[in-house]
Amino acid sequence: MVHAPAHAPARRSRRPRTALGGALALLLTAFTATAATAAAPAAAPPPAPAAACAADGFCEDFESQTGPRPSGRWSFQADDCTGTGTVTVDTAVAHGGTTSLRVNGGEGYCNHAFAGTALDDVPAGGDLYVRFWVRHTTALPTQHVTFLAMRDTGARDTDLRMGGQNAALQWNRESDDATLPAQSPAGVALSRPLPVDRWSCVEFRMERAGLLQTWLDGESVEGLIVDGTPTHDVDAQWLNSGAWQPAPADLRLGWESYGQGADTLWYDDVAVGTSRVGCA
């Protein structure tokens, strides 16, 4: 009888070695993928979308501007005289998207600098609503300045102007130099300054019957209302010359100084129509 050796060597299995190798391979693959992900630069966030606009006239976010100067429906305008003031298309500062209109407003009367557009495509006969976002660097000065103007065909083609005086927002009518509010201490106190170094939403409603209302960041400004009933320190002077029936033919955004006052301004997300769009 043949006996098997008492200590015959056991057969070796390759399965444990194979399993260990697979685990190491998976671990190496995961480590490599993690390292590659960590080394890859983070993707830049997409630019903010341009503000939505539901105006029945026109909207402008300036994203279609391709050159250094305003083009398309917008053109540089300086009706009286111009000097060092400039209007350019800016891709470094914007409210929504990547592009805005930049105005370097110079000091002194002959520094008018505006980008203007006709209002031909705004439905006629109804109220006019305008909304724009503006950012600027220097507080409104004591002397009169303008940052928005409209040619009023109802007042012999003179300008209806929005700007500032005594460091607060005001409207001014070129035809008779009336101001809204009256530039008394009480009148100025009913207006508001235009904040600096941030975007502000400015809106106004102008009725063909001669009523006017203005909002800053969604809040109505008491001193910038013409309601048809003369109010001392507010619209009494404005209504003193009789019936005012505005008929604006254009919209100009820019800067006009009548002495003191230089500023840098950016405009974006303009909406013009016959109903209020708001600041959303």
Write down all domains in the chain, each with its CATH number in brackets.
Answer: 58-273 (2.60.120.200)
- Cα torsion angle, 253, 258, 259, 260, sign: negative
* CA separation, residue 28 to residues 32, 37, 254 (Å): 6, 14, 62
In the DSSP assignment, the letter for residue 223 is G
Rg of the chain on CA atoms, in Å: 32
Residues 6+ positions from 138 with CB-CB distance below 8 Å: 196, 261, 262, 263, 264
pLDDT of residue 110: 84
Contact assessment for residue 123 and residue 274, using Cβ atoms and an 8 Å cutoff? yes
pLDDT of residue 52: 52
Residues 6+ positions from 62 with CB-CB distance below 8 Å: 89, 94, 97, 99, 100, 101, 268
> Which of 120, 175, 167 lies closest to 144, judged by CA?
167
In the DSSP assignment, the letter for residue 248 is B
In the DSSP assignment, the letter for residue 217 is T
Mean pLDDT by 10 residues, the chain (280 residues): 40 39 40 41 42 76 96 91 92 97 93 95 89 98 97 94 98 96 98 98 95 98 96 96 90 93 97 93
> Which of 259, 252, 242, 31 lies closest to 142, judged by CA?
259
Contact assessment for residue 112 and residue 261, using Cβ atoms and an 8 Å cutoff? no
Place of tokens 């503006």: 134
**CA–CA distance, 78 with 170 (Å, rounded to integer):** 21
pLDDT of residue 79: 77
pLDDT of residue 41: 41
pLDDT of residue 256: 94
**CA–CA distance, 253 with 239 (Å, rounded to integer):** 26
Residue 30, number of CB atoms within 10 A of its CB? 10
pTM assigned to the model? 0.81
pLDDT of residue 78: 87
* CA separation, residue 29 to residues 8, 26, 134 (Å): 41, 5, 53
Give the tokens for residue 85: 């003031």
pLDDT of residue 26: 38
pLDDT of residue 131: 97
